[in-house]
Structure 1
Amino acid sequence: MEQIKMRVEKRRDLTPTIAEFTLAPVGGESLPEFNPGAHITIETPSGAMRRYSLVNDGSDPKEYVVAIKREPQSRGGSASMHEQAVVGTELNIEHPENDFPLTDVQKYLLIAGGIGITPIYSMARYLDKKGKMLRIIYVSRSAEESAYLDELMKDFEGRIIVHHDDGDPNAVYDFWDDLVTPRATHVFCCGPKPLMEEIKAFSGHWPEGRVHFEDFKPVDVVRQDDVAFEVELKKSGQTVTVPEDRSILEALRDAGFATSSSCESGTCGTCKTRLLEGEADHRDMVLLEEEKGSQIMICVSRAKSGRLVLDL
Structure 2
Amino acid sequence: MGGLSARTEDGFVPRTREVIAARVDRVADGVVSLVLVTPDGSPFEPWEPGAHVDVHLGGGLVRQYSLCSSPGDLSHLRVAVLDVPGSRGGSRRVHRELSAGDTLEISEPRNNFPVRDSRKYLFLAGGIGITPLLPMIERAERAGREWRLVYGGRSRAAMAFAGQLADTYGDRVELVPEDERGRMDLGAVLSLPRAHTLVYACGPGGMLRAVEELCMGWPPGTLHTERFAAAALGPGATSGPFEVELARSGKTVSVSAERTVLEAVEDVGVRVLSSCRQGLCGTCETAVLSGEPEHRDAVLTGDDAGSTMMICVSRAAAGCDRLVLDL
Summarize the alignment of residues 126-141 of structure 1 with structure 2, pairs less than 5 Å apart.
126-141=139-154
Secondary structure of the equivalent of 1:26?
Answer: coil
From 58, 70, 74, the equivalent of 1:57 is: 70
Kindly provide the CA deviation profile for residues 54-76 of structure 1, in whole angstroms up to 9, marking residues without a partner as x.
11122361211011111112101
Which sits farther off after the overlay, 212-221 or 91-100? Answer: 212-221
From 173, 187, 204, the equivalent of 1:176 is: 187
**1:205 is the counterpart of 2:217:** yes
Secondary structure of the equivalent of 2:216?
Answer: coil
Secondary structure of the equivalent of 2:122?
Answer: strand
**1:155 is the counterpart of 2:182:** no
Q: Residues 103, 181 of structure 1: CA spacing in aligned structure 2 closer, same or farther, 3 A cutoff?
A: same
Kindly provide the CA deviation profile for residues 104-148 of structure 1, in whole angstroms up to 9, marking residues without a partner as x.
011000000000011112211221111111000001110010100
Question: 1:18 matched to which residue of 2?
Answer: 31
**1:186 is the counterpart of 2:186:** no
Question: 2:255 matched to which residue of 1?
Answer: none
* Unpaired segments ≥5 residues, structure 2: 1-13, 234-259, 263-272, 287-294, 298-308
Q: Residues 3, 292 of structure 1: CA spacing in aligned structure 2 closer, same or farther, 3 A cutoff?
A: farther
Secondary structure of the equivalent of 1:50?
Answer: strand
Question: 1:289 matched to which residue of 2?
Answer: 316
Question: 2:3 matched to which residue of 1?
Answer: none
Kindly indicate whether the alpha-carbon contact (under 8 Å) linking 1:5 and 1:26 is maintained by their aligned counterparts in 2.
yes
Give the structure-1-normalised TM-score: 0.72
Aligned length: 249
- C-alpha separation between the residues in 1 aligned to 2:148 and 2:296? 36
- C-alpha separation between the residues in 2 aligned to 1:140 and 1:283? 27
Secondary structure of the equivalent of 2:148?
Answer: strand
Kindly provide the CA deviation profile for residues 239-278 of structure 1, in whole angstroms up to 9, marking residues without a partner as x.
xxxxxxxx9x9xxxxxxxxxx8512323546599xxxxxx
- C-alpha separation between the residues in 1 aligned to 2:98 and 2:322? 40
Q: What RMSD, in angstroms, separates the aligned Cα atoms of the two structures?
A: 3.0
Cα deviation for residue 78 of structure 1 reads 1.1
- C-alpha separation between the residues in 2 aligned to 1:83 and 1:27? 27
Kindly indicate whether the alpha-carbon contact (under 8 Å) linking 2:36 and 2:77 is maintained by their aligned counterparts in 1.
yes
Question: 1:2 matched to which residue of 2?
Answer: 15
Secondary structure of the equivalent of 2:188?
Answer: helix
Give the structure-2-normalised TM-score: 0.69
